Amino acid sequence: MEVTKLEHACQVVTEGTARLVLDPGGFTRPVDVTGVVAVVVTHEHPDHVTPDQVRRILDGSPGAVVIGPAGVARALDGVVAVDVVTAGDRRTVGPFGLTFHGTRHNVIHSSVPVVDNTGVLVNGRLFHPGDSYTVPDVPVEVLAAPVGAPWLKVAEMMDYVLAVAPRRAYPVHEATLSDVGLDMHTGRLREAVEPSGSLVVLQPGESFTI
């Protein structure tokens, strides 16, 4: 299983000739890939999904399904039907076994509504939490770890990674940071991961194999 990190929260997971796209939002380059069997969206915020990105992916892969929590279905109403999931649900799409964890986005501020957010565990190995600190109730081999966001405090990010205790992690959700800030936050992430695992730092477009 190969993971390609694009900008910010978007990742493309490849198994054989099948692809799974995670969180294709507006902070990411146009996602032009084929062979997509599913698009999984953790929540409705536009840095994680836009109608244009979804339309582009479906134009290239008309049979792909779109999966996400109820807020995503509302955001994409009139664009595509969404298979609505929440914590505890399971789906199998092509070679991908998906289990879903968590229900709510982390708090940004008391004045900002808290939306649905459901993280996804892919093939029992790769966990993408979206914008949450959801700790799955199963071991996580690889964690896509958010490193920059209006809702994120570095100390809490470190505690989250320590709680998940992945064997490997890679930083995502970096578009809100300068290069200097990303280096600093990635360094703190490394400190949290490396007592028991290893950190893989990917530039947008780079891949690694799980």
CB contact at 8 A, 99 and 120:
yes
| Cα–Cα distance, 75 to 78 (Å, whole number) | 9
114 confidence band (pLDDT: 50, 70, 90): very high
Local structure of 3: helix, strand or coil: strand
CA distances (Å), 55 to each of 6, 32, 40, 58, in order?
Answer: 18, 11, 14, 5
The distance from CA 149 to its chain's CA centroid, rounded to whole angstroms, is 13
Neighbours of 150 (CB within 10 A): 11
Global pTM exceeds 0.75: yes
Look at residue 195 and tell me whether its pLDDT is greater than 90.
no
Residues 126 and 5: their CA atoms lie apart, in Å, by 13
Percent share of the chain, pLDDT over 90: 99
Task: Please tell me the predicted confidence (pLDDT) of residue 80.
Answer: 96
- Whether the pLDDT of residue 62 is over 90: the answer is yes
pLDDT level of residue 2 (50, 70, 90 thresholds): very high
- Mean pLDDT of the chain, nearest integer: 97
